[in-house]
Amino acid sequence: MRNSILASLTAAVAMLVVAHVANPAAQQRQRISDQGFISEGIPKMPNPPGPAPKRDLSGAWVGPATTNKPDPVPAMTPAGERAFKERKGFGPASGQFGGGRQAGGPGESNDPFITCDPLGFPRNLIAHAITSRGGTLFGSAPNRILIAYEQQRVWREIFMDGRPLPKAVDVKDAPESRYYGYSVGHWENDTTLVIDTTGLDERAWLDEAGHPKSTMAHIQERYTRADQYNLQLTVTVDDPKYYTKPWAFMKANFYWMKDQEFSESFCVPSEAIEYRDTLSKPSGIQIK
């Protein structure tokens, strides 16, 4: 059955806040027992795991219930401060990422995902793959690696044919910016895939707190397959328009999914708007 925002209070206004509203431990137990996700660490499979196959991440992986933020968000430029002040994150989820006073309820927040606008990259790495313990599927097509996410059924193309990233977007003779950007990848060695992404749409937030990102922010993902069942991710952000220095945005460990099938989970705009209005207008009266 399709999961929607109103199907569960834990997913209510935004799928991204599931882990902050629900009990993460209970959620993790449920996914392991009912859907075949393995626990973090050594799975109940061949023990110890076999070696990592060479240059191969194909298959479905599950993210952890939490993400390790190795570096704090650095000082912002004046432009970054101005952009950040315009945004008010949604409740406790925003506080996890330095939102603090930015946090508000569904009726106060201007988080674009409240009405199901795309999360964009790299915020989707937090919400789709990590806090919701969503599945991440690596596949392939000619000259590219495909990455699909269980939450929202979002997919990305990582071109592996040596093409350059765009030098500019949203100007004459240049491509348009994209919510999930333009991505190219290469194998650093037999177990580490490096992905570089730029050309990002500025409307999407960097994280739950509402930190901004510019169209030409450079985001790098490093996926290292430690063995048959464990995949390590490090993400760095370099955006001189809004931040004074690059930083490690997140680290996380992914684990092989024993059950390789995804559920269908969407943020449905009509239901999101209805739920938002119900919370912000307890009387239930719609003001036109």
Q: C-alpha angle with apex 135: 139 to 51, nearest 5 degrees?
A: 65
Give the least confident one: 7-11, 122-126, 186-190. Answer: 7-11
What's the chain's average pLDDT?
80
Quote the pLDDT of residue 126. 84
Give the least confident one: 41-55, 107-121, 194-208. Answer: 41-55
Q: What mean pLDDT comes out for the span 90-103?
A: 56
Instruction: Tell me, letter by letter, the H, E, C secondary structure of 250-278.
Output: EEEEEEEECCCCCCCECCCHHHHHHHHHH
pLDDT (tens digit, 9 = 90+) per residue, 134-152? 789 999 999 999 999 988 8
pLDDT at 102 over 60: no
- Share of residues in the chain with pLDDT > 90 (%): 51
Q: What type of residue sits at position 170?
A: D
pLDDT (tens digit, 9 = 90+) per residue, 244-280? 999 999 998 888 887 788 888 888 888 877 877 776 5
pLDDT at 8 over 50: no
d(CA 30, CA 19) in angstroms, rounded, equals 13
Quote the pLDDT of residue 23. 36
pLDDT (tens digit, 9 = 90+) per residue, 108-123? 789 998 888 999 999 9
**CB contact at 8 A, 185 and 195:** yes
**CB contact at 8 A, 94 and 211:** no
Quote the pLDDT of residue 178. 98
